[in-house]
């Protein structure tokens, strides 16, 4: 099974699980209004990576092999704050995973750390009778592939070279999440579920081409489900 097929299966499983899990919570309940000002929570799920040498040209007449992290698990933490009437806000996001990196003739476990700041827009205004809402997120941050420091390495069959510096890379972030309040409370505060899909786009790969144009941006797509608690009142 290819990485694209595994990713598609992961997305389908996540969406089915999200839909089934949300069904019991769609009717309003007392104490479930989205009138909280702040929230914090955790999430877990899957992550898929596009090749780190995407669009690599052929070298010596042979097509370039992909350098790619395997899809798999990811965990994360979030904190967010809503402004004014609760339609707009901001979020701090952090996540990490460790995945096998497929290199020509080699495979190694590689840690990947995510950190970003996102602006938020709820598609619907908070309402005492509304327990589910969707939110668009757009932001920027950093991602670090822990490839290690050292001497430069060359991967001729992948038309790629690694300079030996695993410094953090700048990312643009865009995503969509659906929050569903459960009607339950933790220490008196409302508890909700979050279903989220986010793409962290690295504009400059940690690998450089041996010959030809720069590599394509790297997509790091998270499909996660989490829980959060809200506190404080908007009004």
* CATH code at position 224: 2.40.160.20
Taking a C-beta distance cutoff of 8 angstroms, is the pair 88, 24 a contact? no
Residue 31: per-residue pLDDT: 43
- Residue 109: both structure tokens together: 């476990």
Q: How far is the C-alpha of 111 from the C-alpha of 75, rounded, in Å?
A: 12
Residue 188: per-residue pLDDT: 82
Q: How far is the C-alpha of 201 from the C-alpha of 217, rounded, in Å?
A: 6
Residue 36: per-residue pLDDT: 87
Taking a C-beta distance cutoff of 8 angstroms, is the pair 76, 88 a contact? no
The number of distinct structural domains making up the chain is 1
> Taken in order 124, 125, 130, 132, is the CA torsion positive or negative?
positive
- What's the domain range around 202? 3-233
221-to-25, 73, 89, 167, 202 alpha-carbon distances in Å: 27, 11, 22, 20, 11
In degrees, to the nearest 5, what angle opens at C-alpha 157 toward C-alphas 152 and 159? 60
Residue 97: per-residue pLDDT: 98
- Residue 140: both structure tokens together: 């920027």
Does this model's pTM top 0.75? My answer is yes
56 Cβ neighbours under 8 A, 6+ residues apart: 64, 158, 159, 160, 209, 212, 215
Report residue 111: phi and psi, to 5°. -75, 145
Residue 164: per-residue pLDDT: 87
Report residue 234: phi and psi, to 5°. -70, -35
Residue 126: per-residue pLDDT: 85
Mean pLDDT by 10 residues, the chain (235 residues): 51 48 42 78 98 78 83 98 93 97 86 98 87 96 92 87 91 97 87 97 93 91 97 80
- Residue 168: both structure tokens together: 């953090």
Residue 4: per-residue pLDDT: 47
């Amino acid at each position: 099974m290819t990485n694209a097929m595994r990713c598609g299966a992961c997305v389908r499983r996540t969406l089915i699980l999200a839909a089934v899990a949300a069904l019991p919570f769609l009717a309003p309940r007392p104490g479930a209004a989205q009138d909280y000002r702040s929230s914090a929570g955790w999430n877990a799920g899957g992550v898929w990576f596009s090749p780190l040498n995407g669009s690599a040209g052929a070298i010596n007449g042979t097509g370039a092999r992909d350098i790619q992290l395997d899809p798999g698990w990811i965990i994360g933490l979030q904190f967010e704050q809503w402004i004014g009437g609760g339609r707009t806000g901001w979020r701090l996001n952090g996540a990490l995973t460790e995945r096998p990196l497929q290199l020509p003739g080699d495979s190694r476990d590689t840690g990947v750390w995510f950190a970003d700041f996102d602006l938020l827009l709820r598609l619907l205004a908070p309402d005492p009778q509304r327990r589910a809402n969707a939110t668009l997120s757009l932001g920027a941050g950093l991602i670090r592939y822990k490839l290690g420091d050292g001497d430069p390495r060359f991967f001729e069959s992948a038309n790629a070279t690694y300079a030996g510096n695993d410094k953090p890379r700048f990312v643009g972030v865009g995503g969509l999440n659906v929050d569903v309040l459960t009607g339950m409370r933790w220490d008196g505060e409302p508890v909700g579920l979050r279903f989220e899909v986010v793409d962290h786009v690295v504009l400059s790969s940690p690998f450089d081409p041996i010959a030809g144009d720069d590599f394509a941006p790297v997509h790091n797509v998270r499909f996660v489900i989490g829980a959060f608690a809200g506190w404080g009142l908007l009004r």
